[in-house]
Structure 1
Amino acid sequence: MTLRVAVAGATGYAGGEALRLVAGHPDLTVGPLCAGTARGPIEDYQPHLQSLAGMQVSETRADLLAESDIAILGLPHGASAKVTSAIEDLNPDCLIVDLGADHRLASAADWEAYYGTEAAEPWTYGMPELIREEGPSQRELLAASTRIAAPGCNASAITFAAQPAIAAGLSEGTGIVASLAVGYSGAGKSLKPHLLASEGLGNAVAYGVGGSHRHIPEIAQNLQAAGGHTASLVMTPVLVPMSRGILATVSIPAAGTTQADVLEAYTAAYASEPFINVTSSQPATASVLGSNGVLICPVLDRDGERITVTCAIDNLGKGTAGAAIQSINLALGLEETTGLTVNGVAP
């Protein structure tokens, strides 16, 4: 038996990637497609999804979403909570996954400080690989959940890069400095002048500088779960002329350790992870394109005072929709890797 999946925000980048993965999943089938203002055949907005050609995009209505077993919400920040409440009234058994940020943060104060609106209820965080120092594992939490908050893409890359060092006691998690090269799909599909090809091609530009990026409290929350003592970090994402992908370079303070210790910590942390590979060569975003894979290379700096970790992910894959499908698999009791691949697309 296959389960129906409705997608809100089906015409956007994250929604489109979720649709692509659902369409290729053996236990899921695509249900109602919704969007804010877009209407008509889905191929007008997602022409690469040929198997879904002819399906119609409707307005975002709770009754349409509640018809399905699973609802994936790819809506603007702040929009998911209201829709969720209406879905719950109509179908309390519906498994709901939010691709936005509405339900990621446990701290209402952090949400209000970074997003400027009233905080919504925190949901189970959709990162199965999250290291938790205490309590049940993240996989156990997801297996018992019907409300899942998919992680942020930049937050995912930095978390994967930093949490093994913290969990192994090589770092307290303070003083972390991260620089990220980010593909333009991470900025969404809205038409804005700085996202035009004429502006982006041959160009690199930073954003969210000076501690203002909204993923910072999410990253701090993740690293605290691993045993870190940080509440903030220096994070500078840079838009670079590629469609999708993130290459995070994360500098982590450390002392009294060796390269062998670092490699052991990262290898042990991810030894049983189906989608995370620790490599001795520098990761490339092209190697994880279109996949749910994560490539990580940890190196102790020559002075022994910092660990530099590079991490490559597909921002739409493991950074968003892939993590959502992986979490859905766990919530449904399916094999975690179902419908997902660790292999990228090349050339």
Structure 2
Amino acid sequence: MVTVAVAGASGYAGGEALRLLLAHPELEIGALAAHSSRGPLGSHQPHLAPLASRELVGLEPELLADSDVVVLGLPHGASGQLTAEILAINPDVRMVDLGADHRLENRGDWEAFYGEGWSEPWAYAMPELLRTGQTQREILADAKVIAAPGCNASAVTFAAQPAIRAGIATGEDIVAVLAVGYSGAGKALKTHLLASEGIGNLNPYAVGGTHRHIPEITQNLRLAGGTLSGLSFTPVLAPVVRGIIATVSMPVAPGTTPSDVTDAYRSAYDGEPFVRWSATPPNTAVTTGSNSALVHAVLDRDGQRLTAVCTLDNLVKGTAGAAIQALNLSLGIPEETGLSSIGVAP
């Protein structure tokens, strides 16, 4: 068995990673660590009954480095220094960061959206990423350190990349509007995340091109061949716990037909175990709890633009599920192992 330690085990992302690891037949859960939370895990993650009596320990690099794999579910900017310390102790350990610290290839992008503290980029945990040259699966198969994608970035990437890859869109003038569940904001106590503020309310945030997933989206879509100018990205907190629905609009090449759009999206995800074409616009309920993303696209009535819709569970395919899928590839395990494509509905 491969032993997996989880840092940030008391948070939403870390807890979701643990839920998936409990169902994995070839991975064994090791040390459970957190920054400030202490006591039995059951007092922080009561739904993880098999781990309820396990004690949380501090983020000690020596303890974490003693595992075969370390999964880090820490706030953005908190992983870079810790991962460097772990690798200094055990260069052979595998690591998967659920935060943003190792996603961005360009230091300038990190500093513009996150500030100081850029860390070296790791293999990006999106096997379905459409790119020229070496496939993302080939990159992940050789990777020992892996960066999980951002949930919003995943939804927009899945919605936009088939059109760009097929050449019916360039990636210019993309407009993306997303409804996002509150778990995507993390577990930290903030006034605008209280139930009294969120229930019955739709709350836009990071408006005007300021959301931190923007450079990640542009990085992904440039790999697919896009020019990426004029990306408009607006997320809206919706009064649900889980789920993202991304509605993405982009101009298409003159003469593009409805069948061109359908063919581009069907062929892009043909044979994919988790990212699938949907014959109708999907909703979030059908992907809740699963590692699936559903994508539908249609040519607009005037033939000038296409509209693509992607839904996924932000904690599974948007974060922890993508991480486990990529870790499976890294370990030489079938990528579907321990992951379900079946949603929970109603």
Q: What is the TM-score with the length of structure 2 in the denominator?
A: 0.99
Report the CA distance between 1:232 and its aligned residue: 5.1
Counterpart secondary structure, 2:110: helix
Contact persistence 1:220–1:232 (CA under 8 A):
no
User: What does residue 239 of structure 2 align with?
Assistant: 241
The whole-number CA distance in structure 2 between the counterparts of 1:330 and 1:296 is: 23
Contact persistence 1:153–1:319 (CA under 8 A):
yes
Counterpart secondary structure, 2:208: coil
The 5 A counterparts of 1:273-292 are: 273-292=272-291
Question: Where does structure 1 differ by over 6 angstroms across 4 or more consecutive aligned residues?
Answer: none
User: What does residue 130 of structure 1 align with?
Assistant: 129
The 5 A counterparts of 1:164-203 are: 164-203=162-201
The whole-number CA distance in structure 2 between the counterparts of 1:95 and 1:259 is: 45
Contact persistence 1:216–1:232 (CA under 8 A):
no
Per-residue CA deviation, residues 168-227 of structure 1 (Å, 9 max, x unaligned), is 001000100000000000000000110000000000010010000000000000000000
User: What does residue 78 of structure 1 align with?
Assistant: 77
User: What does residue 111 of structure 1 align with?
Assistant: 110
Distance 1:263 1:147, change over 3 A: same
User: What does residue 65 of structure 1 align with?
Assistant: 64
Contact persistence 1:290–1:314 (CA under 8 A):
yes
Counterpart AA for 2:191? P
Counterpart AA for 2:249? S
Contact persistence 2:34–2:56 (CA under 8 A):
yes
Count of residues paired in the alignment:
345
Of 223-232 and 291-300, deviating more is 223-232
Counterpart secondary structure, 1:260: helix
Contact persistence 1:217–1:231 (CA under 8 A):
no
Contact persistence 2:261–2:299 (CA under 8 A):
yes
User: What does residue 217 of structure 1 align with?
Assistant: 215
The whole-number CA distance in structure 2 between the counterparts of 1:65 and 1:346 is: 37
Per-residue CA deviation, residues 254-309 of structure 1 (Å, 9 max, x unaligned), is 13211101000000010021001211212110100000001111011000111100
Contact persistence 2:173–2:229 (CA under 8 A):
no
The whole-number CA distance in structure 2 between the counterparts of 1:296 and 1:335 is: 23
Counterpart secondary structure, 1:59: coil
Counterpart AA for 1:250? V
Per-residue CA deviation, residues 8-55 of structure 1 (Å, 9 max, x unaligned), is 110000000000011110000111011111001001011000111211
The whole-number CA distance in structure 2 between the counterparts of 1:282 and 1:174 is: 23
The whole-number CA distance in structure 2 between the counterparts of 1:333 and 1:85 is: 25
Q: What is the TM-score with the length of structure 1 in the denominator?
A: 0.98
Counterpart secondary structure, 1:248: strand
User: What does residue 11 of structure 1 align with?
Assistant: 10
Root-mean-square deviation (Å): 0.8
Counterpart secondary structure, 2:16: helix
Mind listing any 5+ residue stretches in structure 2 that lack a counterpart? none
Counterpart secondary structure, 2:57: strand
Report the CA distance between 1:118 and its aligned residue: 2.9
Counterpart of 1:161 (choices 137, 159, 162) is: 159
Per-residue CA deviation, residues 85-133 of structure 1 (Å, 9 max, x unaligned), is 1111221111101000011011001110110113110111110000002
Counterpart AA for 1:95? R
Counterpart secondary structure, 1:227: coil
User: What does residue 31 of structure 1 align with?
Assistant: 30
* Percent identity for Structure 1 against Structure 2: 60
